[in-house]
């Protein structure tokens, strides 16, 4: 995975739930875990939040100063900035159930 600030925006605004989901994925470019995480996250969003999510990928190798802001220690980390409250999941998101709990995705449906 390249340093890709992937912005996946919903094509149409069908807005069943008004909120836009803002997610940040902190990664280190080179690690396989990061690539897996991005793939997993995208998969989840597509299946649960299609059209109303926005993923920002932050590569800490390029922007190390950003780690402080969200108190990032572990890589990869997903931070749900919106909707509030802020939630954090660490890991490559391979444990689906935990991701659902962590991002509180069930509530989105």
Partner 1 sequence: MKNNGHKPASPATQLPKCPTGIQGLDEITGGGLPRGRPTLVCGGAGCGKTLLAAEFLVRGAAQFGEPGVLMAFEETEKELKANVASLGFDLEGLVRRKKIVIDYVHIERSDAQESGEYDLEGLFVRLGHAIDSIGAKRVVLDTLEVLFASLPNEAILRSELRRLFRWLKDKGVTAVITAERGRESLTRHGLEEYVSDCVIVLDHRVNDQIATRHLRVVKYRGALHGTNEFPFLIGGEGISVLPITSLALNHKVSAGRIATGIHRLDAMLGGKGFFRGSSILITGTSGTGKTIIAANFAQAAARRGERVLFFSFEESPNQIIRNMHSIGLRLEPLVKRDLLRFHSARPSLYGLEMHLATMFREIATFKPHVVIIDPITSLMDSGTESEGKAMVTRLIDYLKAGQVTSLFTSLSQGAHQMQQNETGMSSLMDAWVLLQDFEGNGERNRVLYVLKARGMAHSNQIREFLISDHGIDLVDAYIGVSGVLTGSARVAQGDLEKAAVLASQQEAAQLKREVERKRKALDRQIGDLRSDYEGEALELRRIAEQVGTRTFVLGTERAASGLLRQADTKAAAITRVNHRNGKVS
Q: Which residues bind partner 1 (CB under 8 A)?
A: 26, 28, 31, 33, 36-37, 40, 60-61, 64-65, 67-68, 71-77, 86-96, 98-99, 101-102
Phi, psi of 63, deg, nearest 5 = -130, 70
Q: What is the rounded CA–CA span in Å between residue 90 and residue 102?
A: 9
The beta strand positions in 6-59, using DSSP E, are 21-27, 53-59
Shortest distance (Å) from residue 25 CB to partner 1: 12
Rounded to the nearest whole angstrom, what is the least distance from the CB of residue 14 to partner 1 in the complex? 28
Structural tokens at position 59: 């590569």
Residue whose CB is less far from partner 1, 17 or 86? 86
């Amino acid at each position: 995975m390249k340093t890709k600030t992937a912005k996946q925006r919903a094509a149409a605004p069908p807005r069943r739930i008004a909120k836009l989901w803002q997610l940040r994925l902190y990664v280190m470019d080179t690690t396989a875990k990061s690539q897996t995480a991005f793939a997993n996250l995208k998969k989840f969003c597509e299946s649960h939040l299609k059209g109303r999510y926005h993923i920002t990928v932050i590569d800490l190798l390029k922007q190390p100063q950003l780690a402080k802001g969200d108190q990032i220690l572990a890589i990869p980390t997903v931070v749900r900035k919106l909707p509030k409250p802020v939630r954090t999941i660490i890991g490559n998101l391979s444990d689906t159930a935990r991701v659902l709990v962590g991002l509180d995705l069930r509530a989105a449906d």
